[in-house]
Structure 1
Amino acid sequence: MIKATNIRKTFGSLEVLKGVDVSIEKGEIISIVGASGAGKTTLLQILGTLDKPDKTEGLALQINNTETSKLSDKELAKFRNEHIGFIFQFHQLLPEFTALENVCIPAFIKNTSKAEAEKRAKELLEFLGLSHRINHKPNELSGGEQQRVAVARALINNPSIVFADEPSGNLDSESADRLHNLFFELRAQFGQTFVIVTHNEDLANMADRKLTMVDGNIVD
Structure 2
Amino acid sequence: MIKAKNIHKYYGNLHVLKGVDIQVNKGEIVSIVGASGAGKTTLLQILGTLDMASKKEDYTLEINATDLKLLSDKKLAKFRNEHVGFIFQFHQLLPEFTALENVCLPAFIKGTKKSDAEKHARELLDFLGLSERYTHKPNELSGGEQQRVAVARALINHPDLIFADEPSGNLDSESAEHLHQLFFKLREEFGQTFVIVTHNKELANMADRKLVMVDGNFVTSNKD
* TM-score grouping bracket, smaller chain normalisation: over 0.9
Runs ≥4 residues deviating over 4 A? none
CA distance in 2, matches of 1:14, 1:68: 25
Superposition deviation, residue 57 in structure 1:
4.1
CA distance in 2, matches of 1:219, 1:2: 19
- In the other structure, the counterpart of 2:2 is 2
Deviations 1:64-85 (A, max 9, x none): 1100012111111000000000
Paired residues for 1:128-147 under 5 Å? 128-147=128-147
- In the other structure, the counterpart of 2:90 is 90
CA contact (8 A) 2:7 2:20 kept: yes
CA distance in 2, matches of 1:202, 1:50: 27
Paired residues for 1:40-59 under 5 Å? 40-59=40-59
TM-score (norm 2): 0.97
- In the other structure, the counterpart of 1:122 is 122
CA distance in 2, matches of 1:97, 1:204: 32
CA contact (8 A) 2:166 2:198 kept: yes
- In the other structure, the counterpart of 1:39 is 39
SS of residue matched to 1:32: strand
- In the other structure, the counterpart of 2:196 is 196
- Give the length in aligned residue pairs: 220
Paired residues for 1:53-72 under 5 Å? 53-72=53-72
Superposition deviation, residue 185 in structure 1:
0.2
Runs (5+) with no aligned partner, structure 2 = none
CA distance in 2, matches of 1:29, 1:50: 20
Matched to 2:81, the amino acid is: N
CA distance in 2, matches of 1:166, 1:70: 30
TM-score (norm 1): 0.99
Q: Percent identity?
A: 76
CA distance in 2, matches of 1:126, 1:177: 19
